[in-house]
Structure 1
Amino acid sequence: MRILVVCQHFYPETFRINDITYELVKKGHDVTVLTGLPNYPEGKVYKGYKWFQNRKQVVNGVKIKRCSLVGRRKSTLMMGINYAWFAIFGCLKAFFMKKDFDVVYVYQLSPISMTWPGILVSKLKKIPLIIHCLDQWPISVTTGPIGKDSVLYKILEKMSIWSYNKASRIIISSKSFKRYFEHELKISAKSKGLTYYPSYAESDYENVGQMENNVFDIVFAGNIGPAQSVETIIETANLLKEHKDIMFHIVGDGLSRQVCEDLSNQYKLENVKFYGFHPVEDMPQYYALADCFIITMVDNEVVNSTLPAKVQSYMLAAKPIVGAISGEVKEVVEEADCGYCTNSGNYEELAQIITRVYNDKEKCRYFGKNSYSYYQSHFEKNKCINDLVAIFKEEIEKGV
């Protein structure tokens, strides 16, 4: 198949779409990616990509076409400009793409407007459009300063409904998304499929082993934004600071990193370390360090309905998971029997959970084994890629 992938983020940024495209190429498919200039998470365009550098690349057999883009910086205004910029210049790039494709696959993170170049190609070339929804729009914006009753939200809602309705099929990364599409956006499974398609983890996270250092190491890996509630981890660490052999490792970056570092410094914590952003290929060393992984999120209807991709990575590494998170993640951890979760923001009970896991090494091994087993049963990579290819073929056979 000749597949056009549209996503505002791509290599050298570290999103799972990178690995998906590499795997599709390995299976013999011709893959082209329409993307912007890498600037996540720092918000500044990477060195080597300014002034028309590397606008065309081939990475692991994937052909990359980049449109103009300004960095998102770390302000809401610049983020909005960044979003609009890709929508406009991505469409311009798409309009002049001469190559023929069999299907368009949009890996839809935020914002919904990143689907527009894909919609344009689908219409121009009369080919199926698959939208893979990982962030529900517009409800995702309510984790920030925009309320559901605002005029801006109503505009974004109309924009989102229009965009999703242009898809031949919508695939969703969380089972809970179906309820949102059907009840809030009035988009039915009958019309758009709403096919559950879970994320998998890169192979880098498998067989990472265990680093022995006589310390119980708890690792958080990923974006440090308002939704991730990493402040809950800092509050937990403050309650456990007398346990000198329990360490918290925060690997990642984002809008809330400085706030969390300031809170850690305010408490004068010596049991918390921040490592900043690292690419996927660097992550196995931190996963090997972990005796236990931790996940926290704010209590929000959007967040509660998502299954962050880090959960699959944690599971593939065969380690226990503890968390302060409600909704689908808590349900999955309980179903897998691979750890303990309390409600979002409950750092006092989270501290008790960590103490319980710390004192029961046999339970740790039990949870780790269950993590890996659940991953293989529900998220195994080769099966996920084959399922995606099958979806593409079904839509191509149906026609537009």
Structure 2
Amino acid sequence: MNVLFLMIISPEIKRNPNLYTELMEEFREKGHKVYVAAIEEKKNGRQTRITEESGIKILHIRTGNMFNVNPIEKGLTTLSLGRLFKKGLKQYFKHIKFDLVMMPTPPITFADAMNFIKKRDNAKAYLILRDIFPQNARDIGLLKNEILFKYFRNKEKKMYRVADYIGCMSQGNIDYVLKHNPEVQGNKLELLPNWSRVETPIETEGSVDYKKKYGLEGKFVCIFGGNIGWPQELEFLLELAKSVRDRADIIFLIVGKGITKPKIEKIIADEAINNVIMKDFLPKEDYDGLVNQCDVGLINLDRRFTIPNIPSKTTGYFKASVPVLASVDASTDYGKVLENARAGLWSITGDLEQYKRNLLELADNPDRAKQMGINGRKYLEKYLTVKDAYNTVIKHFK
């Protein structure tokens, strides 16, 4: 089959693999021809062009700026994506007949491009639902304009209409979509949990001690890696850090960038929270190695969410056999996922007492914490591999 992925970020297949690049490679390895259309932000200074990496053709479509910009600029770019992607696909992929077009969310405005390919090529459309917008933006105060909300809500509904199949992260996602969109046919929706490529863990003598390299030797390290933005409410993580200041052995390491990072850094400085370390960036090899040697992987979600989020970084923690400490909203079924895997502890964002109890349970019971990490790895190997994701999608074409 000819398979097209519509992507919000240009894939770096070898340098910066993620769940989508892994799925692209899985399709390629199974003999399919894989193509990608992806955003090329104008701030990068490059025009629309085609590149090829690992046998996958990538169409980089010049758009407005999307990341680390104010909400207005981000919104205007989002509104333009359907039009710009249709134009790019018409011009650069006009001689290719696609059998399957796959579209992860965000953003929902790719739906017009997905519908264009579906109609032009009589292709099937598979929606990888990772983000329920615009409700998630309304929940955390980023979308207050009712007219805009209704506009994006109509786009969301169109996206569900266009999709032949909708892969959801959890049962909570399926239930939410059906409850709030009763016109959607239930047989369109299926479980497609976040996935990861699983390699055999390699332990070698003389391997790098990343804790020592980054000055964390002898510490119980809780790591958060990824976007530092409104959805994470890392202010509450700082409350946890302050509550265990008396524990000199516990350190919180936050690695990443995002729109709220300056605010988090200011709180740390103003309140002298000396058990939190922030880093902009680590080389991928160092970050992956450090996660493997850390003691806890952190998951944080804003308490205001009414939609069920399942953070994708969870599979990275499972892969590294690291137990999870989660602080999540009351609407998500993430806690059930964690309990099913027996891979960590969770509490509701805002419940500092339980959050602290969970942290100390992991810190003071290393054998239990280690077993939770092992459980996460086993759960990943059994249910959450890229092969599982591929088989979920491809069964519709057998």
Asked if TM exceeds 0.5, the reply is: yes
| Paired position in structure 2 for 1:34 | 37
How far apart in 2 are the matches of 1:230 and 1:27?
Answer: 41
Q: Residues 144 and 14 (structure 1 numbering): CA distance in 2 closer, same or farther, change over 3 Å?
A: farther
Matched, 1:201 2:196: yes
SS at match of 1:298: coil
The answer to whether the Cα contact below 8 Å between 2:111 and 2:162 also exists between their aligned partners in 1 is no
Q: Aligned equivalents of 2:128 and 2:234: distance in 1?
A: 27
- The percent of aligned pairs where both chains have the same amino acid is 19
- Please name the residue that 1:397 is paired with: none
Aligned to 2:46: 51
Which string of whole-angstrom CA distances, capped at 9 and with x for unpartnered residues, describes residues 136-181 of structure 1?
Answer: 1332221343568923222222222122201222222222121222
SS of equivalent to 1:165: helix
**Change over 3 Å in CA distance of 1:146–1:324 after alignment to 2:** closer
SS of 2:62's equivalent in the other structure is coil
Distance in 1, matches of 2:306 and 2:53, equals 34
Mean Cα displacement is larger for which, 278-287 or 332-341? 278-287
Check if 1:234 corresponds to 2:228. Answer: no
Q: In the alignment, what sits opposite 1:67?
A: 61
Q: 8 Å contact 1:199–1:379 — kept in the other structure? A: yes
Structure 1: distance between partners of 2:119 and 2:361? 56
Measured at CA, do residues 118 and 282 of structure 1 come closer, stay the same or move farther in structure 2, by a change above 3 Å? Answer: farther
Question: Contact 1:297–1:345 at 8 Å: present in 2 too?
Answer: no
Give 2:33's aligned amino acid.
D
Q: Deviation at 1:353? A: 1.8
Higher mean C-alpha deviation, range 229-238 or range 101-110: 101-110
Map 1:1-400; keep pairs closer than 5 Å. Answer: 1-12=1-12, 15-37=18-40, 45-46=43-44, 50-52=45-47, 55-72=49-66, 73-96=68-91, 97-145=93-141, 150-190=146-186, 193-203=188-198, 213-278=217-282, 281-303=285-307, 305-326=308-329, 327-391=332-396, 393-394=397-398
Given the superposition, is the C-alpha separation of residues 99 and 175 from structure 1 closer, same or farther in structure 2, using an over 3 Å criterion?
A: farther
AA matched with 2:384: F
1: CA distance between counterparts of 2:10 and 2:147?
Answer: 32
Unaligned stretches of 5+ residues in structure 1: 395-400
Q: CA deviation at 1:7?
A: 1.6
Q: Give, in whole Å, the separation in 2 of the partners of 1:25 and 1:19.
A: 10
Q: Measure, in 2, the Cα distance between the counterparts of 1:87 and 1:290.
A: 41
How many pairs were matched up? Answer: 382
| Residue 33 of structure 1, CA deviation | 0.4
Distance 1:282 1:129, change over 3 A: farther
Task: State the distance in 1 between where 2:17 and 2:112 align.
Answer: 22
Specify whether residues 100 and 77 from structure 1 end up closer, same or farther in structure 2 by C-alpha distance, changes over 3 A only.
same
Distance 2:277 2:256 in 1: 11
CA distance in 2 between counterparts of 1:69 and 1:205 reads: 39
Contact 2:299 2:324 (8 Å CA) reproduced:
yes
Relative distance call for 1:138 and 1:199 in structure 2 (3 A) is same
Contact 2:229 2:258 in 1 (8 A): yes
Coordinate RMSD, CA, aligned: 2.5
CA shift, 1:202, in A, is: 4.1
Counterpart Cα distance in 2 of 1:252 and 1:346: 25
The CA deviation string for residues 63-109 of structure 1, in whole angstroms up to 9 with x for no partner, is: 00111112224201110122123222111112232233342333322
Confirm or deny: 8 A CA contact 1:211 1:290 kept in the other structure. no
For residues 288-333 of structure 1, the C-alpha deviation after alignment (integer angstroms, 9 at most, x for no partner) is: 2311111111123445x12111111111111111121143211111
Moved more, 93-102 or 9-18: 9-18
Tell me, yes or no, if the aligned pair for 1:9 and 1:15 is still in contact at 8 Å.
no
SS where residue 5 of structure 1 aligns?
A: strand
Confirm or deny: 8 A CA contact 2:37 2:61 kept in the other structure: yes
**Contact 2:100/2:124 (CA < 8 Å) preserved in 1?**
yes
Q: 1:204 to 1:265 in 2, by over 3 A?
A: farther
- Match of 2:162, SS state, is coil
Change beyond 3 A, Cα 1:206–1:279: farther
Residues 45 and 16 (structure 1), Cα distance of their counterparts in 2 relative to 1, 3 Å cut: farther
Give the counterpart letter for 1:157 in structure 2.
R
1:248 deviation in Å? 0.5
